[in-house]
Amino acid sequence: MKHPVGTTRNGKTVYANLIGSSAGKLIAQQPYLLGLIRESLRLSNVTGPVARVERDMGKAIGYNYVVETTDKDTILYACLTHDDVYTRFVKNGKPLSTQYLTMELRRDPDNDGYELHDAWLGRAYPPRPGSPDETSESKIFWANHAFVLDNQTIQSRTVTKTCPY
């Protein structure tokens, strides 16, 4: 189901699948983000097949659950439910207040618009190692960063302290 989200500065229509997308899950948990996403889109020009938009909203908007880690942190790896890519987690980490909103938009081949594929609070970061979108920066970044282990639903049989990548 395509839900209109907003229009970019350069006139591109953006919609979101509120049922099956990563962005839809975030919006369901924090509905106020829809207004922030609209505001950010109005200020952004997007081009190309995939556009990543990182916007400083000028005020605290929530918490970033991707944090920098050190050798003193307890790290574990696991696959989230309905995911086959390992995610790096830090136990006892604390999310940090952020004023950044990041969005990933993908061009819709059927029209001139974009789908809001993903959105999160915090700065842009590369895809996780092992994901189809992995980049050359993925392993370097995720060797020193992790998601704060909170209330994510993980597949218990995949939990390991050994880096899987």
- Between CA 39 and CA 56 the distance in angstroms is 11
Using the Cα atoms of residue 98, residue 42, residue 36 and residue 151 in order, give the sign of their dihedral. negative
- Is the pLDDT at 1 greater than 80, yes or no? no
Q: Note the pLDDT tens digit of each residue in 74-117.
A: 999 999 998 999 999 999 999 999 999 999 999 998 888 999 99
Look at residue 159 in the predicted model and tell me its pLDDT: 97
Residue spans of the domains in the chain: they are: 2-158
Binned at pLDDT 50, 70 and 90, residue 11 comes out as very high
User: Counting Cβ atoms within 10 Å, is residue 62 exposed (0-12), middle (13-18) or buried (19+)?
Assistant: buried
Q: Note the pLDDT tens digit of each residue in 21-52.
A: 888 888 888 899 999 999 999 999 999 999 99
Look at residue 110 in the predicted model and tell me its pLDDT: 83
Look at residue 74 in the predicted model and tell me its pLDDT: 97
Q: Note the pLDDT tens digit of each residue in 122-165.
A: 999 999 999 998 999 999 999 999 999 998 999 999 999 999 99
Taking the model in full, what pTM does it have?
A: 0.90
- Is the pLDDT at 20 greater than 90, yes or no? no
Look at residue 64 in the predicted model and tell me its pLDDT: 96
Q: Note the pLDDT tens digit of each residue in 119-133.
A: 999 999 999 999 998
CA distances from 146 to 77, 89, 126 (A): 9, 5, 12
- Between CA 91 and CA 77 the distance in angstroms is 11
